[in-house]
């Protein structure tokens, strides 16, 4: 039996925040040796496609090599904002958890 595919959660953790209709997500390598994989593979376009239908605006990407992290700002991502959305728990923390489920390249 083949092992399950590796996911981003296997090599990184995520932190999140929200401000109005914007979510911020930071993906931080658990081991600095894995940062080059995250930096090369986790592009703004991949994140945008992963959240297609949820994030309706641009995705900005900020590499932070000194922290072994990549930071993203997802615009128009929270259905109007935490205080305006009718969605249950549409906060950034749920988006960061979902991001960590992305399969890693083989």
Phi, psi angle pair for 88, to nearest 5°: -75, 130
Q: What is the pTM of this model?
A: 0.84
Mean pLDDT, rounded, of the chain = 84
Is the pLDDT confidence value at 91 over 80? no
- Judged by DSSP in three states, 42 sits in coil
**pLDDT single digits (tens) 92-105:** 667 788 889 888 88
Mean pLDDT, range 31-38, rounded to an integer:
96
In the chain, domain spans: 8-99
Which option is the CATH number for 8-99: 1.20.120, 3.30.1360, 3.30.2350, 3.40.50? 3.30.1360
Alpha helices in the chain, H assignment, sequence order: 35-41, 44-50, 92-99
* pLDDT 10s digits, 37-54: 999 999 999 999 998 888
């Amino acid at each position: 039996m083949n092992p399950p595919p590796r996911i981003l959660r296997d090599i990184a953790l995520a932190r999140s925040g929200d401000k109005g209709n914007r979510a911020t997500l930071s993906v931080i390598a658990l081991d600095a040796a894995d940062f080059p994989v995250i930096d090369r593979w986790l592009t703004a376009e991949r994140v945008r496609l992963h959240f297609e239908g949820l994030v309706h605006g641009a995705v900005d990407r900020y590499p932070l090599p000194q922290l072994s992290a990549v930071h993203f700002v997802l615009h128009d991502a929270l259905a109007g904002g935490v205080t305006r959305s009718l969605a249950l728990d549409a906060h950034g923390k749920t988006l960061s958890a979902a991001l960590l489920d992305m399969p890693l390249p083989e």
